[in-house]
A and B are shown apart, each in its own frame.
Chain A
Amino acid sequence: MGSGALLAAPALGQGLVDLALPGGPSSRPTTSSFPEKGEMILQRARPPLLETPMEVFDQGVFTPNDRFFVRWHWADIPTSIDVQGYRIAVRGHVNRPLAIPLAELLRMPRVELAAVNQCSGNSRGLFQPCVAGAQWRHGAMGNAKWVGVRLRHVLDLAGVKPGAIAVRFGALDQPVVPTGPDFTKSISLDHARDGEVMIAFEMNGEQMPLLNGFPVRLIVPGWYSTYWVKMLNDIEVLDRPDDGYWMAKAYKIPDTPHANVAPGTKDFPSVPINRMVPRSWITGWSDEQTFSYAPELPVGGIAMGGDAGVARVEISGDLGRTWHEASLGSDEGRYSFRRFDMTLRVPHAGRYTLLSRCTNTNGLTQPMTPNWNPGGFMRGCVEASRVRLT
Protein backbone atom coordinates (compact mmCIF):
# COMPACT_ATOMS: atom_id res chain seq x y z
CA MET A 1 0.00 0.00 0.00
CA GLY A 2 1.26 3.44 -0.88
CA SER A 3 -0.10 4.69 2.41
CA GLY A 4 2.49 2.66 4.25
CA ALA A 5 5.28 4.58 2.58
CA LEU A 6 4.59 7.53 4.84
CA LEU A 7 5.96 5.51 7.70
CA ALA A 8 8.60 3.66 5.78
CA ALA A 9 11.76 5.49 6.68
CA PRO A 10 11.85 6.87 10.20
CA ALA A 11 15.23 7.31 11.78
CA LEU A 12 14.36 4.86 14.56
CA GLY A 13 13.20 2.10 12.25
CA GLN A 14 15.30 -0.99 11.65
CA GLY A 15 12.77 -3.06 9.77
CA LEU A 16 9.17 -2.98 8.71
CA VAL A 17 6.21 -5.08 9.71
CA ASP A 18 2.77 -5.17 8.11
CA LEU A 19 0.09 -5.29 10.81
CA ALA A 20 -2.57 -6.22 8.21
CA LEU A 21 -4.96 -3.57 9.48
CA PRO A 22 -8.15 -3.34 7.45
CA GLY A 23 -8.04 0.43 7.03
CA GLY A 24 -5.34 3.07 6.98
CA PRO A 25 -1.59 2.72 7.01
CA SER A 26 -0.75 -0.83 7.99
CA SER A 27 3.03 -0.83 7.90
CA ARG A 28 5.10 -0.01 10.98
CA PRO A 29 8.82 0.19 11.64
CA THR A 30 10.42 -2.17 14.11
CA THR A 31 13.02 -0.81 16.49
CA SER A 32 15.41 -1.85 19.23
CA SER A 33 16.32 1.76 20.06
CA PHE A 34 14.37 2.09 23.29
CA PRO A 35 16.15 1.56 26.60
CA GLU A 36 15.81 -1.89 28.19
CA LYS A 37 13.78 -3.01 25.16
CA GLY A 38 14.45 -5.52 22.42
CA GLU A 39 12.82 -5.45 19.02
CA MET A 40 9.42 -3.78 19.22
CA ILE A 41 6.87 -2.46 16.75
CA LEU A 42 7.09 1.33 16.74
CA GLN A 43 3.62 2.82 16.88
CA ARG A 44 4.80 6.19 18.15
CA ALA A 45 8.15 7.37 19.44
CA ARG A 46 7.00 10.23 21.64
CA PRO A 47 5.42 9.56 24.00
CA PRO A 48 6.33 5.94 23.35
CA LEU A 49 3.82 3.42 22.04
CA LEU A 50 5.66 0.15 21.48
CA GLU A 51 3.81 -2.99 20.42
CA THR A 52 4.92 -6.56 21.09
CA PRO A 53 5.41 -8.64 17.93
CA MET A 54 2.97 -11.56 17.84
CA GLU A 55 5.67 -14.22 17.61
CA VAL A 56 6.77 -13.34 21.15
CA PHE A 57 3.49 -14.78 22.43
CA ASP A 58 4.28 -18.11 20.75
CA GLN A 59 7.46 -18.47 22.78
CA GLY A 60 5.87 -18.74 26.23
CA VAL A 61 2.98 -17.52 28.34
CA PHE A 62 5.18 -14.98 30.12
CA THR A 63 6.20 -11.97 28.06
CA PRO A 64 9.88 -11.08 28.50
CA ASN A 65 10.38 -7.68 30.07
CA ASP A 66 12.36 -6.43 27.09
CA ARG A 67 9.48 -7.31 24.73
CA PHE A 68 6.65 -6.09 26.95
CA PHE A 69 4.45 -3.43 25.32
CA VAL A 70 4.81 0.24 26.28
CA ARG A 71 2.21 2.95 26.40
CA TRP A 72 2.48 6.49 27.82
CA HIS A 73 0.02 9.36 27.59
CA TRP A 74 2.33 12.34 28.18
CA ALA A 75 5.86 12.82 26.88
CA ASP A 76 7.26 14.27 30.11
CA ILE A 77 8.59 10.95 31.44
CA PRO A 78 11.42 10.97 33.99
CA THR A 79 14.47 9.24 32.54
CA SER A 80 16.35 8.97 35.85
CA ILE A 81 14.95 7.30 38.94
CA ASP A 82 16.88 7.42 42.21
CA VAL A 83 15.59 4.53 44.30
CA GLN A 84 16.86 6.02 47.54
CA GLY A 85 14.98 9.27 47.14
CA TYR A 86 11.78 7.77 45.77
CA ARG A 87 8.70 8.00 47.97
CA ILE A 88 5.15 6.76 47.59
CA ALA A 89 2.74 9.18 49.22
CA VAL A 90 -0.40 7.82 50.84
CA ARG A 91 -2.67 10.69 51.67
CA GLY A 92 -6.16 12.12 51.49
CA HIS A 93 -8.93 10.63 53.60
CA VAL A 94 -6.55 8.76 55.93
CA ASN A 95 -5.55 9.05 59.58
CA ARG A 96 -1.77 8.91 59.05
CA PRO A 97 -0.44 10.30 55.76
CA LEU A 98 2.69 8.41 54.70
CA ALA A 99 5.65 8.85 52.40
CA ILE A 100 6.93 5.32 51.96
CA PRO A 101 10.56 4.83 50.93
CA LEU A 102 11.21 1.92 48.57
CA ALA A 103 13.50 0.28 51.15
CA GLU A 104 10.52 0.09 53.45
CA LEU A 105 8.18 -1.20 50.74
CA LEU A 106 10.64 -4.02 50.04
CA ARG A 107 10.37 -5.13 53.68
CA MET A 108 6.58 -5.31 53.74
CA PRO A 109 4.65 -8.60 53.35
CA ARG A 110 4.74 -9.64 49.70
CA VAL A 111 2.45 -11.33 47.25
CA GLU A 112 3.17 -12.83 43.83
CA LEU A 113 0.65 -13.03 41.03
CA ALA A 114 0.72 -13.75 37.30
CA ALA A 115 -1.48 -11.31 35.41
CA VAL A 116 -2.10 -10.09 31.90
CA ASN A 117 -1.69 -6.39 31.35
CA GLN A 118 -3.71 -5.37 28.30
CA CYS A 119 -4.34 -1.92 26.87
CA SER A 120 -8.00 -0.89 26.71
CA GLY A 121 -7.49 -0.20 23.02
CA ASN A 122 -5.61 -3.36 22.16
CA SER A 123 -6.58 -4.45 18.60
CA ARG A 124 -8.19 -1.05 17.91
CA GLY A 125 -6.67 -1.08 14.43
CA LEU A 126 -9.07 -3.90 13.54
CA PHE A 127 -12.22 -1.92 14.36
CA GLN A 128 -14.56 -1.40 11.42
CA PRO A 129 -15.62 1.25 10.81
CA CYS A 130 -12.14 2.48 11.78
CA VAL A 131 -11.82 4.64 14.86
CA ALA A 132 -9.11 7.16 15.68
CA GLY A 133 -6.53 6.40 18.36
CA ALA A 134 -3.44 4.25 18.62
CA GLN A 135 -3.78 1.76 15.80
CA TRP A 136 -2.66 -1.35 17.66
CA ARG A 137 -2.97 -4.84 16.32
CA HIS A 138 -2.96 -7.47 19.10
CA GLY A 139 0.38 -6.70 20.73
CA ALA A 140 -0.65 -4.06 23.27
CA MET A 141 -0.64 -6.74 25.93
CA GLY A 142 1.72 -8.86 27.97
CA ASN A 143 1.75 -11.32 30.83
CA ALA A 144 4.19 -11.26 33.75
CA LYS A 145 4.76 -12.57 37.24
CA TRP A 146 4.41 -9.56 39.49
CA VAL A 147 5.79 -9.36 43.01
CA GLY A 148 4.79 -6.55 45.30
CA VAL A 149 2.84 -5.42 48.31
CA ARG A 150 -0.92 -5.59 48.60
CA LEU A 151 -2.43 -2.13 48.27
CA ARG A 152 -4.65 -3.09 51.21
CA HIS A 153 -1.60 -3.41 53.45
CA VAL A 154 -0.43 0.10 52.63
CA LEU A 155 -3.92 1.54 53.04
CA ASP A 156 -4.20 -0.13 56.44
CA LEU A 157 -0.88 1.41 57.52
CA ALA A 158 -2.28 4.83 56.68
CA GLY A 159 -5.64 4.08 58.27
CA VAL A 160 -8.52 4.79 55.90
CA LYS A 161 -11.08 7.09 57.49
CA PRO A 162 -14.79 6.29 57.51
CA GLY A 163 -16.53 7.76 54.49
CA ALA A 164 -13.77 6.94 52.02
CA ILE A 165 -15.10 5.55 48.73
CA ALA A 166 -12.29 5.47 46.19
CA VAL A 167 -8.52 5.52 45.79
CA ARG A 168 -6.79 7.62 43.14
CA PHE A 169 -3.33 6.92 41.76
CA GLY A 170 -0.85 9.44 40.43
CA ALA A 171 2.58 9.05 38.93
CA LEU A 172 5.78 10.83 38.05
CA ASP A 173 4.97 11.48 34.41
CA GLN A 174 3.63 14.96 33.84
CA PRO A 175 1.69 16.77 31.15
CA VAL A 176 3.91 18.45 28.58
CA VAL A 177 1.56 21.40 28.81
CA PRO A 178 1.41 22.32 32.51
CA THR A 179 -2.32 23.05 32.39
CA GLY A 180 -3.10 19.74 30.69
CA PRO A 181 -4.81 16.97 32.66
CA ASP A 182 -2.29 15.01 34.73
CA PHE A 183 -2.74 11.28 34.25
CA THR A 184 -4.48 9.82 37.30
CA LYS A 185 -6.82 6.86 37.67
CA SER A 186 -8.99 5.59 40.47
CA ILE A 187 -10.75 2.45 41.64
CA SER A 188 -13.33 1.91 44.36
CA LEU A 189 -12.11 1.48 47.93
CA ASP A 190 -13.53 -2.05 48.03
CA HIS A 191 -11.59 -2.94 44.91
CA ALA A 192 -8.45 -1.32 46.30
CA ARG A 193 -8.77 -3.46 49.41
CA ASP A 194 -9.52 -6.78 47.67
CA GLY A 195 -6.07 -8.19 48.45
CA GLU A 196 -5.20 -8.68 44.76
CA VAL A 197 -4.50 -5.10 43.73
CA MET A 198 -0.79 -4.72 44.28
CA ILE A 199 2.05 -2.21 44.28
CA ALA A 200 4.55 -4.24 42.23
CA PHE A 201 8.31 -3.77 42.34
CA GLU A 202 9.29 -6.94 40.51
CA MET A 203 8.33 -8.14 37.04
CA ASN A 204 9.29 -11.64 35.91
CA GLY A 205 11.91 -11.82 38.65
CA GLU A 206 13.61 -8.51 37.90
CA GLN A 207 13.09 -4.85 38.47
CA MET A 208 10.82 -3.56 35.71
CA PRO A 209 12.07 -1.58 32.73
CA LEU A 210 11.69 2.16 33.22
CA LEU A 211 9.26 2.30 30.32
CA ASN A 212 7.07 -0.28 32.05
CA GLY A 213 6.90 1.81 35.21
CA PHE A 214 10.10 1.46 37.22
CA PRO A 215 10.39 1.45 40.16
CA VAL A 216 6.79 0.53 41.07
CA ARG A 217 3.51 0.23 39.23
CA LEU A 218 0.01 -0.65 40.27
CA ILE A 219 -1.23 -4.12 39.30
CA VAL A 220 -5.00 -4.44 38.93
CA PRO A 221 -5.53 -8.10 38.01
CA GLY A 222 -8.30 -8.74 35.50
CA TRP A 223 -8.72 -5.04 34.68
CA TYR A 224 -7.45 -3.11 31.69
CA SER A 225 -4.02 -1.56 31.74
CA THR A 226 -5.25 2.01 32.06
CA TYR A 227 -5.52 1.37 35.82
CA TRP A 228 -2.04 -0.12 36.10
CA VAL A 229 -0.42 3.23 36.88
CA LYS A 230 3.31 3.27 36.14
CA MET A 231 5.94 5.11 38.23
CA LEU A 232 3.32 5.20 40.97
CA ASN A 233 4.19 7.80 43.59
CA ASP A 234 0.86 9.06 44.85
CA ILE A 235 -2.03 7.18 46.45
CA GLU A 236 -4.91 9.43 47.41
CA VAL A 237 -7.90 8.14 49.34
CA LEU A 238 -11.06 9.98 48.25
CA ASP A 239 -14.31 10.60 50.11
CA ARG A 240 -16.00 11.65 46.87
CA PRO A 241 -16.21 10.28 43.33
CA ASP A 242 -13.19 10.97 41.14
CA ASP A 243 -14.36 13.63 38.67
CA GLY A 244 -10.95 13.96 37.01
CA TYR A 245 -10.67 13.87 33.23
CA TRP A 246 -9.14 10.39 32.97
CA MET A 247 -12.03 8.80 34.89
CA ALA A 248 -14.96 11.06 34.05
CA LYS A 249 -14.30 11.67 30.35
CA ALA A 250 -11.59 9.38 28.99
CA TYR A 251 -11.62 5.58 28.85
CA LYS A 252 -15.41 5.39 28.94
CA ILE A 253 -17.28 2.53 27.32
CA PRO A 254 -20.94 2.01 26.45
CA ASP A 255 -22.78 0.45 29.37
CA THR A 256 -23.89 -2.45 27.15
CA PRO A 257 -22.88 -6.13 26.78
CA HIS A 258 -19.37 -6.28 25.24
CA ALA A 259 -19.29 -2.47 25.27
CA ASN A 260 -21.03 -2.70 21.92
CA VAL A 261 -23.12 -0.10 20.11
CA ALA A 262 -24.11 0.33 16.46
CA PRO A 263 -21.29 2.05 14.54
CA GLY A 264 -21.67 5.78 14.55
CA THR A 265 -23.67 5.83 17.78
CA LYS A 266 -22.62 8.73 19.96
CA ASP A 267 -25.22 9.04 22.69
CA PHE A 268 -25.31 6.15 25.11
CA PRO A 269 -24.99 5.61 28.86
CA SER A 270 -21.31 5.07 29.58
CA VAL A 271 -19.13 3.78 32.40
CA PRO A 272 -15.38 3.74 32.99
CA ILE A 273 -13.78 0.74 31.28
CA ASN A 274 -13.21 -2.00 33.83
CA ARG A 275 -12.96 -5.81 33.69
CA MET A 276 -11.31 -7.60 30.81
CA VAL A 277 -13.05 -10.24 28.70
CA PRO A 278 -11.82 -13.62 27.42
CA ARG A 279 -9.62 -13.62 24.32
CA SER A 280 -7.47 -16.08 22.40
CA TRP A 281 -5.00 -15.98 19.54
CA ILE A 282 -3.39 -18.62 17.35
CA THR A 283 0.27 -17.71 17.48
CA GLY A 284 2.03 -20.46 15.49
CA TRP A 285 2.27 -18.47 12.29
CA SER A 286 1.96 -14.98 10.93
CA ASP A 287 -1.07 -14.24 8.82
CA GLU A 288 -1.07 -16.06 5.47
CA GLN A 289 2.19 -17.85 6.29
CA THR A 290 2.87 -20.85 4.02
CA PHE A 291 3.83 -24.36 5.14
CA SER A 292 4.27 -27.65 3.31
CA TYR A 293 1.10 -29.66 3.45
CA ALA A 294 0.85 -32.42 5.99
CA PRO A 295 -2.43 -34.09 7.00
CA GLU A 296 -1.99 -33.00 10.60
CA LEU A 297 -1.63 -29.30 11.34
CA PRO A 298 -0.43 -28.28 14.81
CA VAL A 299 -2.50 -25.33 16.03
CA GLY A 300 -1.48 -23.52 19.20
CA GLY A 301 -1.61 -20.18 20.88
CA ILE A 302 -2.47 -18.28 24.01
CA ALA A 303 -5.73 -17.50 25.75
CA MET A 304 -6.78 -15.31 28.62
CA GLY A 305 -9.96 -15.45 30.66
CA GLY A 306 -10.11 -11.71 31.35
CA ASP A 307 -11.30 -11.30 34.94
CA ALA A 308 -11.47 -15.09 35.40
CA GLY A 309 -9.54 -18.19 34.47
CA VAL A 310 -9.49 -19.98 31.12
CA ALA A 311 -11.99 -22.86 31.19
CA ARG A 312 -11.55 -24.07 27.60
CA VAL A 313 -10.33 -23.12 24.17
CA GLU A 314 -11.83 -24.48 20.99
CA ILE A 315 -10.59 -24.39 17.41
CA SER A 316 -12.67 -24.27 14.26
CA GLY A 317 -11.44 -24.93 10.73
CA ASP A 318 -14.84 -24.34 9.12
CA LEU A 319 -15.65 -20.78 10.15
CA GLY A 320 -17.40 -21.79 13.33
CA ARG A 321 -19.70 -24.60 12.21
CA THR A 322 -17.81 -27.17 14.27
CA TRP A 323 -15.42 -26.67 17.16
CA HIS A 324 -12.69 -28.92 18.55
CA GLU A 325 -11.45 -28.57 22.09
CA ALA A 326 -7.75 -27.85 22.48
CA SER A 327 -5.64 -29.09 25.36
CA LEU A 328 -4.58 -26.46 27.86
CA GLY A 329 -1.05 -25.85 29.11
CA SER A 330 -0.05 -25.32 32.71
CA ASP A 331 -2.27 -23.13 34.86
CA GLU A 332 -0.25 -20.14 36.08
CA GLY A 333 -3.25 -18.54 37.77
CA ARG A 334 -6.57 -17.18 36.66
CA TYR A 335 -5.26 -13.83 35.46
CA SER A 336 -2.41 -15.30 33.40
CA PHE A 337 -2.17 -16.23 29.74
CA ARG A 338 -2.69 -19.94 29.22
CA ARG A 339 -1.22 -21.96 26.38
CA PHE A 340 -3.49 -24.12 24.19
CA ASP A 341 -2.56 -26.72 21.59
CA MET A 342 -4.22 -29.24 19.36
CA THR A 343 -3.65 -31.09 16.13
CA LEU A 344 -6.17 -30.41 13.39
CA ARG A 345 -6.67 -32.89 10.56
CA VAL A 346 -6.63 -31.09 7.22
CA PRO A 347 -7.88 -33.03 4.16
CA HIS A 348 -5.76 -31.41 1.44
CA ALA A 349 -3.43 -28.56 0.58
CA GLY A 350 -4.97 -25.12 0.32
CA ARG A 351 -5.78 -22.01 2.24
CA TYR A 352 -7.33 -22.37 5.66
CA THR A 353 -8.92 -19.90 8.02
CA LEU A 354 -8.75 -21.06 11.60
CA LEU A 355 -10.62 -19.60 14.53
CA SER A 356 -9.93 -19.91 18.25
CA ARG A 357 -12.55 -19.35 20.91
CA CYS A 358 -12.00 -19.06 24.66
CA THR A 359 -14.56 -19.61 27.38
CA ASN A 360 -13.65 -18.36 30.82
CA THR A 361 -14.42 -19.91 34.20
CA ASN A 362 -17.38 -17.53 34.59
CA GLY A 363 -18.93 -19.15 31.51
CA LEU A 364 -18.33 -16.17 29.23
CA THR A 365 -17.43 -17.19 25.66
CA GLN A 366 -15.82 -15.01 22.99
CA PRO A 367 -18.52 -13.89 20.54
CA MET A 368 -18.10 -14.35 16.78
CA THR A 369 -19.17 -10.78 16.15
CA PRO A 370 -16.75 -7.90 16.78
CA ASN A 371 -17.94 -5.16 19.09
CA TRP A 372 -17.87 -1.51 18.10
CA ASN A 373 -17.66 1.66 20.15
CA PRO A 374 -16.23 5.09 19.33
CA GLY A 375 -13.19 4.60 21.58
CA GLY A 376 -12.11 1.36 19.94
CA PHE A 377 -12.08 -0.33 23.34
CA MET A 378 -12.45 -3.86 24.61
CA ARG A 379 -12.25 -5.95 21.45
CA GLY A 380 -12.92 -9.54 22.42
CA CYS A 381 -14.40 -11.40 19.45
CA VAL A 382 -13.14 -14.64 17.94
CA GLU A 383 -10.09 -13.84 15.81
CA ALA A 384 -9.30 -15.47 12.48
CA SER A 385 -5.89 -16.75 11.52
CA ARG A 386 -5.08 -17.73 7.94
CA VAL A 387 -2.49 -20.23 6.80
CA ARG A 388 -1.53 -21.69 3.40
CA LEU A 389 -0.58 -25.33 3.01
CA THR A 390 1.11 -26.22 -0.27
Chain B
Amino acid sequence: MKGSFLNPSPGALAFGVLVFTSIVLVAIGPPTARKPPAIATASPASAPSQVAGPGSALVSVSVDLPDDIVPFPDGPHAAVINANCTSCHSATMALSQPRLSRDQWKAIVEKMRATYKAPVPASAVPDILDYLNAMSGKLPVSGSSPTPSDRSGGTG
Protein backbone atom coordinates (compact mmCIF):
# COMPACT_ATOMS: atom_id res chain seq x y z
CA MET B 1 0.00 0.00 0.00
CA LYS B 2 2.68 2.38 1.06
CA GLY B 3 4.80 1.54 -1.96
CA SER B 4 1.98 1.96 -4.39
CA PHE B 5 1.06 5.26 -2.82
CA LEU B 6 4.55 6.62 -3.21
CA ASN B 7 5.09 5.11 -6.62
CA PRO B 8 1.78 5.12 -8.40
CA SER B 9 1.63 3.24 -11.67
CA PRO B 10 1.54 5.30 -14.86
CA GLY B 11 -2.09 4.26 -15.29
CA ALA B 12 -3.00 5.47 -11.83
CA LEU B 13 -1.16 8.72 -12.51
CA ALA B 14 -3.01 9.23 -15.74
CA PHE B 15 -6.32 8.55 -14.02
CA GLY B 16 -5.44 11.01 -11.29
CA VAL B 17 -4.55 13.60 -13.86
CA LEU B 18 -7.84 13.08 -15.65
CA VAL B 19 -9.80 13.42 -12.44
CA PHE B 20 -7.80 16.46 -11.44
CA THR B 21 -8.30 18.06 -14.83
CA SER B 22 -12.02 17.45 -14.69
CA ILE B 23 -12.18 18.97 -11.25
CA VAL B 24 -10.24 22.00 -12.43
CA LEU B 25 -12.53 22.43 -15.41
CA VAL B 26 -15.66 22.07 -13.31
CA ALA B 27 -14.32 24.30 -10.57
CA ILE B 28 -13.43 27.04 -12.98
CA GLY B 29 -16.56 26.79 -15.03
CA PRO B 30 -17.30 29.06 -17.92
CA PRO B 31 -15.42 32.34 -17.92
CA THR B 32 -17.67 35.25 -17.28
CA ALA B 33 -15.15 38.01 -17.77
CA ARG B 34 -13.94 39.07 -21.20
CA LYS B 35 -10.36 38.46 -20.07
CA PRO B 36 -9.82 35.53 -17.74
CA PRO B 37 -7.27 36.41 -15.09
CA ALA B 38 -4.02 34.75 -16.03
CA ILE B 39 -1.23 36.54 -14.27
CA ALA B 40 -0.08 35.96 -10.77
CA THR B 41 2.93 37.62 -9.28
CA ALA B 42 5.60 35.00 -8.74
CA SER B 43 7.48 35.16 -5.49
CA PRO B 44 11.03 36.23 -6.31
CA ALA B 45 12.44 33.90 -3.69
CA SER B 46 10.95 30.67 -5.03
CA ALA B 47 11.84 28.84 -8.22
CA PRO B 48 9.54 29.68 -11.13
CA SER B 49 6.48 27.48 -11.25
CA GLN B 50 6.04 25.09 -14.12
CA VAL B 51 3.55 22.80 -15.77
CA ALA B 52 4.48 19.63 -17.59
CA GLY B 53 3.05 17.22 -20.12
CA PRO B 54 4.58 14.28 -21.98
CA GLY B 55 8.01 15.47 -23.11
CA SER B 56 7.16 19.11 -22.62
CA ALA B 57 7.24 21.61 -19.82
CA LEU B 58 6.50 25.29 -19.56
CA VAL B 59 8.23 27.41 -16.93
CA SER B 60 6.81 30.70 -15.67
CA VAL B 61 8.59 33.74 -17.02
CA SER B 62 9.16 37.20 -15.68
CA VAL B 63 11.09 39.73 -17.75
CA ASP B 64 11.87 43.42 -17.84
CA LEU B 65 11.31 45.29 -21.06
CA PRO B 66 13.87 48.01 -21.68
CA ASP B 67 12.60 51.51 -21.24
CA ASP B 68 12.82 53.81 -24.21
CA ILE B 69 13.96 57.22 -23.16
CA VAL B 70 14.70 58.72 -26.55
CA PRO B 71 12.47 61.77 -26.94
CA PHE B 72 11.58 63.73 -30.03
CA PRO B 73 14.64 65.93 -30.67
CA ASP B 74 14.54 69.58 -29.73
CA GLY B 75 12.70 71.92 -32.03
CA PRO B 76 9.61 74.09 -32.07
CA HIS B 77 6.79 72.31 -30.18
CA ALA B 78 9.02 69.38 -29.15
CA ALA B 79 7.57 69.65 -25.65
CA VAL B 80 4.03 69.32 -27.02
CA ILE B 81 4.74 66.25 -29.12
CA ASN B 82 6.73 64.62 -26.33
CA ALA B 83 3.89 65.22 -23.89
CA ASN B 84 1.16 63.93 -26.20
CA CYS B 85 2.61 61.19 -28.36
CA THR B 86 5.03 59.09 -26.34
CA SER B 87 2.75 57.47 -23.78
CA CYS B 88 1.52 54.96 -26.37
CA HIS B 89 4.63 54.58 -28.51
CA SER B 90 8.29 55.49 -28.83
CA ALA B 91 9.24 58.65 -30.66
CA THR B 92 11.15 56.41 -33.07
CA MET B 93 7.88 55.31 -34.66
CA ALA B 94 7.46 58.82 -36.06
CA LEU B 95 11.16 59.49 -36.49
CA SER B 96 11.61 56.48 -38.79
CA GLN B 97 8.76 57.37 -41.14
CA PRO B 98 9.45 58.39 -44.71
CA ARG B 99 8.83 61.94 -45.85
CA LEU B 100 5.11 62.59 -45.41
CA SER B 101 3.04 65.64 -46.28
CA ARG B 102 1.28 67.70 -43.63
CA ASP B 103 -2.02 66.19 -44.78
CA GLN B 104 -0.63 62.68 -44.40
CA TRP B 105 0.58 63.49 -40.91
CA LYS B 106 -2.79 65.01 -40.11
CA ALA B 107 -4.51 61.79 -41.15
CA ILE B 108 -2.17 59.81 -38.90
CA VAL B 109 -2.66 62.08 -35.89
CA GLU B 110 -6.42 61.99 -36.37
CA LYS B 111 -6.31 58.19 -36.59
CA MET B 112 -4.44 58.12 -33.28
CA ARG B 113 -7.10 60.32 -31.71
CA ALA B 114 -10.27 58.89 -33.26
CA THR B 115 -9.43 55.21 -33.67
CA TYR B 116 -6.85 54.52 -30.99
CA LYS B 117 -8.41 57.01 -28.54
CA ALA B 118 -5.14 58.81 -27.84
CA PRO B 119 -5.94 61.52 -25.28
CA VAL B 120 -4.54 64.30 -27.44
CA PRO B 121 -6.54 67.54 -27.18
CA ALA B 122 -7.56 69.15 -30.46
CA SER B 123 -5.73 72.28 -29.35
CA ALA B 124 -2.42 70.41 -29.44
CA VAL B 125 -2.85 69.06 -32.96
CA PRO B 126 -1.59 72.12 -34.91
CA ASP B 127 1.64 72.21 -32.89
CA ILE B 128 2.15 68.47 -33.34
CA LEU B 129 1.61 68.80 -37.08
CA ASP B 130 4.05 71.73 -37.24
CA TYR B 131 6.69 69.59 -35.56
CA LEU B 132 6.09 66.54 -37.76
CA ASN B 133 5.93 68.61 -40.93
CA ALA B 134 9.24 70.31 -40.10
CA MET B 135 10.78 66.93 -39.31
CA SER B 136 9.61 65.45 -42.62
CA GLY B 137 10.76 68.54 -44.48
CA LYS B 138 14.34 67.73 -43.56
CA LEU B 139 14.13 64.36 -45.30
CA PRO B 140 15.26 64.01 -48.91
CA VAL B 141 12.54 63.62 -51.51
CA SER B 142 12.25 59.92 -52.26
CA GLY B 143 14.73 58.98 -54.96
CA SER B 144 14.77 56.18 -57.49
CA SER B 145 15.19 52.63 -56.40
CA PRO B 146 17.71 50.11 -57.69
CA THR B 147 15.08 47.39 -57.63
CA PRO B 148 13.44 45.88 -60.71
CA SER B 149 10.58 48.35 -60.28
CA ASP B 150 12.57 50.98 -62.14
CA ARG B 151 12.73 48.90 -65.24
CA SER B 152 9.14 47.83 -65.25
CA GLY B 153 7.78 51.34 -65.23
CA GLY B 154 6.41 51.66 -61.75
CA THR B 155 2.95 50.61 -60.81
CA GLY B 156 2.22 47.30 -62.49
Contact = CB atoms under 8 A, between A and B. Distances in A.
Most buried by A among B51, B145, B154: B51
Contacts of A45: 66-68, 70, 90, 92
Contact of B97 (A48, A91, A132): A132
B29 interface: yes
A172 B25 CA distance: 21
A75 B118 CA distance: 13
Given A82-B49, A89-B31, A126-B147, A3 B64 contact: no
Contacts of A177: 88, 116-119
Contacts of B12: none
A12 B69 CA distance: 9
A59 B30 CA distance: 46
Contact of B54 (A107, A126, A131): A107
A62 interface: no
B92 A42 contact: yes
In this complex, which of A74, A172, A384 has the most chain B Cβ atoms within 10 angstroms of its Cβ?
A: A384
Interface in B46-79: 49-54, 56-70, 73
A353 interface: yes
B39 A80 contact: yes
Contacts of A46: 65, 67-68, 89-90
A322 interface: no
Contacts, number: 264
Contacts of B28: 87, 99
A101 interface: yes
Interface string A326-360: 00000000000000000000000000010100000
Nearest to B156: A369
A234 B88 contact: no
Contacts of B50: 83-84
A104 B21 contact: yes
- Chain A contact surface mostly: loop
A91 B30 contact: yes
Contacts of A48: 65
A386 B147 CA distance: 10
A239 to B, nearest CB: 17
Nearest to A288: B146
B143 A103 contact: no
Interface string A366-390: 0111111000000001111010000
Which of A1, A23, A249 has most chain B Cβ within 10 Å? A23
A85 to B, nearest CB: 5
Contact of B59 (A74, A207, A367): A207
Interface of B: 17, 21, 24-25, 28-31, 34-42, 49-54, 56-70, 73, 87-90, 92-93, 95-100, 104, 108, 115-119, 135, 138-140, 142-149, 151-152, 154-156
4 A-B pairs closest in CB distance: A106-B53, A369-B156, A24-B98, A97-B30
